Amino acid sequence: MRFSWKLGVLAAALLTALACTVRHSDYEGSLRVFNDGTVTMDRLYVTPSESDTWGADQLASYPLRPSDSITLTRLYPGYYDVKARFSDGSTDTVYDVRIHDGGTATLGMQNSGNGAVAVVNDSGLSITGVYLTPANSTTWGPNQADGPIPPGQSLTLTGVEPDVYDLHVVYSTTATATYKGFTVTAGLTYTLHVN
């Protein structure tokens, strides 16, 4: 009887010792993200689904070209939200990606959400105002030009939602030009040569 008691104590001590050697790193998974888009992915955010913030950019200064991928390791099992931003200003967000213990989840992200509008100044004047608005809007909204756009230069407006747009340009002489009814397509840049 005393022998079985000692054996029980020894077994309990052994189980406690084994439990103490288990590290948090034994409960981790990975996430592999592919750039399935047509332009460079310049930012990537991965955060637990219950978080209120996106946290740090996982790409830092290493953008992903189309078809490239990155594998993020040491993620605790659970659900994550993933947001990618592309060089054309478009974004792709996927919610509730499940990370399993010891496994690798794979996710393709692409710039299919927004387009861009490039305004090329082919006139002999500087452009001081660029106004882009959906064609059904009754106002022009804010000036999109940060400063004068000299002749021969251009301004690219990114993150433009697919729709039909009008563009209003103001020159340094206060002359204006309006371009109506052009379509912005997801993942593409619409180029306007203004003169």
Average model confidence (pLDDT) across the chain: 85
pLDDT one-digit tens code per residue, 73-125: 999 999 999 999 888 777 888 888 999 999 899 998 887 667 789 999 999 99
At 26 the pLDDT is 62
Q: Name which residue leads in pLDDT, 63 or 158.
A: 63
Q: What domains does the chain contain, in order, with CATH numbers?
A: 22-109 (2.60.40.2890), 115-194 (2.60.40.2890)
Task: Please state, in angstroms and rounded to a whole number, the distance separating the CA atoms of residues 181 and 163.
Answer: 9
SS3 content of the chain, % helix, strand, coil (to 5): 10, 50, 40
Report d(CA 156, CA 99) in Å as an integer: 38
Question: Chain centroid to CA 171: how far?
Answer: 34
Quick one: pLDDT band at residue 23, thresholds 50, 70, 90? very low
Amino acid identity of residue 165, one-letter, is Y
- Strand-pair category, 115-121 with 189-194: parallel
The predicted structure's pLDDT at residue 112: 67
Q: Between these two residues, 157 and 22, which has the higher pLDDT value?
A: 157
Predicted confidence (pLDDT) per residue in 168-195, tens digit: 999 999 999 999 999 998 777 899 999 8
Spatial separation of the C-alpha atoms in residues 130 and 139, rounded to whole Å: 13
The CA-atom distances, in angstroms, between 39 and each of 60, 65, 110, 137, 191 are: 17, 7, 8, 30, 17
6-15 mean pLDDT:
47
Q: What's the pLDDT at 19?
A: 45
